[in-house]
């Protein structure tokens, strides 16, 4: 059976820091331990050599916020220290020689048995650089952040859909240098120390270690004349005008996602997404309940009592609505298919709420007629249940 590297995986313990340690603390601790255990300072001391290897490996993970996060998540899932039982990697041969590069490049393949989803997690953690050997600059790649912005549109625009120009000031690929960070007319040169990989390997006896290249700060490229606009970052604040298509039927407070329109990624990674939150101005007559359009229509007592046909506005025009005789105040009549059409093909209804309008003033003949009605209808008690209750007191 071939020997395997079984690695007790407490990177925090290796570096002698707590799991809450800041990046600065981690760096400080790593530097101290690396200096103390450096093979140059401890010739022939295998214990120091092993320790040096461990701290380099731990630092390789914990110094990268993305890797550290995945590592923390893996630890949480399997319990801190579960790693002592063995996260195993196939990288090491019987000689005990392994290269950190191999380790990170092969994680997913080596976790076949026994750990279920662990392979996936470590695949994410260590497989980051999977693919072409030497494509190491992508270790520094980081997806751009998502950005959210707001737009305000009118009710009718929300119902029918709209195309809006959107002005945005946000970090974007620097136009002056095209994102490479170098002053126009110059270009970044490949780091001569790491040959563009961003990592340097050091061999000590049977061991090979990788650490971020100091010359280029792990970027793989050196910029002699930084771009005056972005100071070499390749990203600057830009005002952009985007066209946003608001789909028909959008609701107040809904978000529209524009993939890839967020902050640009670093190191060639994908840009984040832009989320546009839509605020809809209320309409002076119409309201909305999901796909249904709502409207409150004042009606007279006579219309409710005798029945009537009333004309009601819709989004597009008008519609006749029949009020049956003896309709109560507040009743909601449904007009099918006159609501809000969504892009999925569904259309809501128009909901008409009838609300009795009491005349504020009556002229002589109106008053006379109403008094005659009151007299004639005195035999109908409008509130029999209340009358019944009152008799008992
Ligand atoms: Zn620039
Ligand atoms: Zn370099």
pLDDT per residue of the chain (393 residues) written in tens, 0 to 9: 222 232 346 788 888 888 888 888 888 888 888 888 887 777 778 888 888 888 888 888 888 888 888 777 766 655 544 333 333 333 333 333 333 333 333 333 333 333 333 333 333 333 333 333 333 344 467 788 888 888 999 998 998 888 988 888 777 778 888 888 899 999 999 999 988 888 888 777 777 778 888 888 888 889 999 999 888 888 888 787 888 888 888 888 999 998 888 887 776 778 888 899 999 999 999 999 888 999 999 999 999 999 999 999 998 899 999 999 999 999 999 999 999 887 778 889 999 999 999 999 999 999 999 999 999 998 888 899 999 999 988
Query: What residues have a C-beta under 5 A from ligand 2, the ion?
Result: 191, 193-194, 213, 215-216
Ligand at shortest distance from the CA of 218:
2
pLDDT at 140: 61
Interatomic CA distance for residues 370 and 355, integer angstroms = 20
pLDDT of residue 99: 36
Could you tell me the distance, in angstroms and rounded to a whole number, from the CA of residue 222 to the centre of ligand 2?
Answer: 8
Q: How many angstroms does the Cα of residue 212 sit away from the middle of ligand 2? A: 8
Residue 11: CB partners within 8 Å, gap ≥ 6?
57, 58, 61, 62, 71
So what's the pLDDT on residue 227?
Answer: 92
Between the CA of 136 and the centroid of ligand 2 the distance, in Å, is 11
pLDDT of residue 264: 76
3-state SS assignment for residue 13: helix
Q: How far apart are CA 258 and CA 331, in angstroms?
A: 42
What pLDDT is attached to residue 98?
35
Cβ distance 259 to 232 under 8 Å?
no
From the CA of 258, how far away is ligand 1's center (Å)?
A: 25
What is the CA(226)–ligand 1 centre distance, in A?
A: 8
Conformation bin of residue 123: beta by default, left when phi > 0, alpha when psi is -120 to 50 = alpha
pLDDT at residue 100 in the model: 38
Q: Which pLDDT belongs to residue 216?
A: 87
Radius of gyration of the chain (CA): 36
Rounded to the nearest angstrom, the distance between the alpha carbon of 28 and the centre of ligand 2 is 21
pTM: 0.47
- Ion ligand 1 neighbours (CB, 5 A) are 174, 176-177, 227, 229-230
Q: Which ligand is in closest contact with the Cα of 222?
A: 2
């Amino acid at each position: 059976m071939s020997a395997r590297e079984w690695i007790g995986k407490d990177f925090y313990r290796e570096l002698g820091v707590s799991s809450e340690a800041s990046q600065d603390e981690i760096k400080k601790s790593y530097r101290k331990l690396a200096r103390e255990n450096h093979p140059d300072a401890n010739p022939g001391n295998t214990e120091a050599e092993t320790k040096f290897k461990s701290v380099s490996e731990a630092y390789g993970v914990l110094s990268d916020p993305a890797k550290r996060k995945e590592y923390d998540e893996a630890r949480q899932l399997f319990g801190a220290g579960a790693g002592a039982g063995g996260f195993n990697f196939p990288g090491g041969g019987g000689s005990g020689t392994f290269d950190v590069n191999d380790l990170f490049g092969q994680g997913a393949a080596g976790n076949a048995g026994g750990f279920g989803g662990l392979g996936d997690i470590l695949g994410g953690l260590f497989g980051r650089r999977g693919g072409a050997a030497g494509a190491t600059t992508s270790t520094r790649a980081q997806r751009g952040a998502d950005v959210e912005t707001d737009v305000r549109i009118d009710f009718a625009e929300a119902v029918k859909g709209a195309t809006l120009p959107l002005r945005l000031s946000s970090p974007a690929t620097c136009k002056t240098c095209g994102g490479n960070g170098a002053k126009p007319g110059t270009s970044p040169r490949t780091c001569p120390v790491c040959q563009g990989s961003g990592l340097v390997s050091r061999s000590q006896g049977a061991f090979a270690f990788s650490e971020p290249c100091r010359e280029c700060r792990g970027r793989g490229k050196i910029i002699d004349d930084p771009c005056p606009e972005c100071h070499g970052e390749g990203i600057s604040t830009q005002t952009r005008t985007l066209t946003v298509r608001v789909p028909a039927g959008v609701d107040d407070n809904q978000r529209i996602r524009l993939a890839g329109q967020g902050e640009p990624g670093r190191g060639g990674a994908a840009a984040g997404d832009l989320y546009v939150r839509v605020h809809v101005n209320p309409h002076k007559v119409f309201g909305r309940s999901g796909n249904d359009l709502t409207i409150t229509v004042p009606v007279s007592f006579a219309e409710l009592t005798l029945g009537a046909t009333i004309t009601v506005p819709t989004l597009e025009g008008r519609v006749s609505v029949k009020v049956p005789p003896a309709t109560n105040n507040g009743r909601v009549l449904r007009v099918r298919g006159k609501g809000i059409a969504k892009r999925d093909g569904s259309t809501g209804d128009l909901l008409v709420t009838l609300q009795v309008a009491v005349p504020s003033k009556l002229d002589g003949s109106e008053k006379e007629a109403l008094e005659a009605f009151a007299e004639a209808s005195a035999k109908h008690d409008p509130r029999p249940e209340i009358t019944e209750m009152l008799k008992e007191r």
